Amino acid sequence: MRKLKFIDLFAGLGGFHKALHELGHECVFASELDPTLRQVYQENWGIEVHGDIKKIVEKEISIIPKHDILCAGFPCQPFSKAGKQLGREDDRGTLFDEIVKILSFRKPAYFILENVPFIAKHDNEETWRVMKNNLEFLGYTVDHGIYSPQDFGIPQHRLRIFIVGSLNGLDHFSFDEIDKLKTESSEIHKYIEINPANAKRLPRANVECLKLWQEFITNIPREVKLPGFPIWGMEFGATYPFEDDYPQILIETELSKFKGNFGKSLKGLSKEQQLANLPSYARVDKPFPAWKQRYIRYNRQFYKENKKYIEDVVKLISQLPSQSWQKLEWNVGNGDRKINDYILQFRASGIRVKKVDFFPSLVCTNTQIPIVAWQERYLSKEEGLKLQSLEGIKLPHNENAAFKALGNAVNSKIVGLIAEKLFLDHQNKIKSIVKNKDHYNILLQHESAR
């Protein structure tokens, strides 16, 4: 395949760079806002990295050289379901406009963009319609596919949308061909090292917290099914209203008749104190949604039916320092009832316990780094690199910065699979030109001989 030139916008660790470099292509321009990542990128790839792309496009767009491919994993937070979902109203959402301006200025033959899948649904698909129209107005044929590393044998659940465009049409390319590369097998244990020396250990407080929840689980008789709904310990013994009425609209004397977190009486407390002794999700100024009512109802009923088995350990759970530690998400169904057999996360929504089949998505916050429970440690940086198909590159030295970068990175293997198919028409055209040139030379030789 002929060497093509590409630019890498919002470059991060260089997931696009690694994929296209391995296909034999050349990066001629990169930009990244974060100064730490700019330094790391330069160390990894030996290319100068420019800063704020908005300023570059506004004041000196001509420094972006001619190129064949534009790559951009533009910021996903404005469109993420985990965020505020402001989309293009968010300043970072308008960074797509900088991509459009560069495409208009340099007219590369191709582009590959990456983002969260929700971008295609945001604002009743209006955001996607505007984006697609802008790209097509420039002459590009556009298509998209949604993939996760686990689709291709990499044990990480991380759905992302990959948007491709070509000025030469997409008759030569189909995401159906990418779908054929999917595999059902994912050998997660090949991605897990045995007690790596540089892995961050699980703090003692977290270990003790897990021991309490293990005691909770152990005390429940085997014939009693563990809840599939989120276990909210604060509801064990609570009686505050949550259906027709809810705490915020009740006056102090009315609320004093009820019990809050773990059955604590609200009698004799000020309204402010009463609310402070309720679960954080109950301190809202509007009626509870149906799903929240359902979970509260399930938890109170579960405690009522199993109180005699768990009330002692629930008292200890009530003393844990965070409400997020007082919640448990048991996502392993009828699996062995040993927390340390699984992959864990300490999340705001609770301690999540999941099967050892794939890792949850690496995200840009260090509070959700997956935990290899049977080794009482967090995922190592090297394991994180494997899950993003970024083996062999350097990461920021700081642990938090490293996992933030991994959480924002694009999976290099998926980019490579798409790129290899997308750029095939260039190779075919070159073969056609060479073939026609050879045919022309043969004719000239034939004419000379005559």
Q: Which residues pair with 351 in a beta bridge?
A: 328, 346
Strand 377-378, strand 327-331: pairing: unpaired
Chain-centre distance for alpha carbon 250: 40
- Identity of residue 214: Q
Task: State pTM to two decimals.
Answer: 0.85
Same domain, 177 and 233: no
Sheet with strand 5-9: strands edge to edge: 26-30, 5-9, 69-72, 110-115, 160-166, 141-147
Query: CA–CA separation, 362 vs 369, rounded Å?
Result: 7
Q: How many domains does the chain have?
A: 2
307 within a domain of the structure (yes/no)? yes
Identify whether residues 266 and 210 lie together within a single domain. yes
| Calpha distance 157→140 (Å, rounded) | 31
23 plus 155 within the same structural domain: yes
* Burial grade of 14 (CB within 10 A; 0-12, 13-18, 19 or more): buried
Specify whether 208 is located in the same domain as 324: yes
Q: Are residues 90 and 53 both part of a single domain?
A: yes
Residue 356 lies in a domain: no
Q: 165 and 19, same structural domain?
A: yes
C-alpha 92: how far from chain center: 17
CA dihedral angle for residue 297, residue 298, residue 303, residue 306, rounded to 10 degrees: 140
Is the separation of the CB atoms in 226 and 217 below 8 Å?
yes
Is 407:367 a contact under the CB 8 Å cutoff?
no
Q: What distances in angstroms separate CA 266 from CA 236, 240, 262, 295, 400, one per listed residue?
A: 15, 9, 11, 22, 40
Domain contains 177: yes
DSSP 361: P
Of the CA atoms within 13 Å of residue 327, those in its CB half-sphere come to: 24
Other C-beta atoms closer than 10 Å to the C-beta of 191 total 18
Give the domain CATH number at 39.
3.40.50.150
244 and 335 co-located in one domain: yes
Owning domain of residue 246: 204-339
Q: Which residues contact 390 (CB under 8 A, 6 or more apart)?
A: 13, 14, 15, 18, 406, 409, 412
Catalytic residue positions? Answer: 76
CA proximity to 175, closest of 151, 136, 146: 146
pLDDT value for 148:
97
Indicate whether 285 and 416 sit together in one domain. no
Of the candidates 227, 206, 200, the one whose C-alpha atom is nearest the C-alpha of residue 216 is 227
383 located within any domain: no
Give the pLDDT of the chain (450 residues) as one tens digit per residue.
579 999 999 999 999 999 999 999 999 999 999 999 999 999 999 999 999 999 999 999 999 999 999 999 988 554 444 444 444 454 544 789 999 999 999 999 999 999 999 898 877 888 899 999 999 999 999 999 999 999 999 999 999 999 999 999 999 999 999 999 999 888 999 999 999 988 999 999 999 999 999 999 999 999 999 999 999 999 999 999 999 899 999 999 999 999 999 999 999 999 999 999 999 999 999 999 999 999 999 999 999 999 999 999 999 999 999 999 999 999 999 999 999 999 999 999 999 999 999 999 998 777 789 999 999 999 999 999 999 999 999 999 999 999 999 999 999 999 999 999 999 866 555 444 444 444 434 333 433 443
181 and 217 co-located in one domain: no
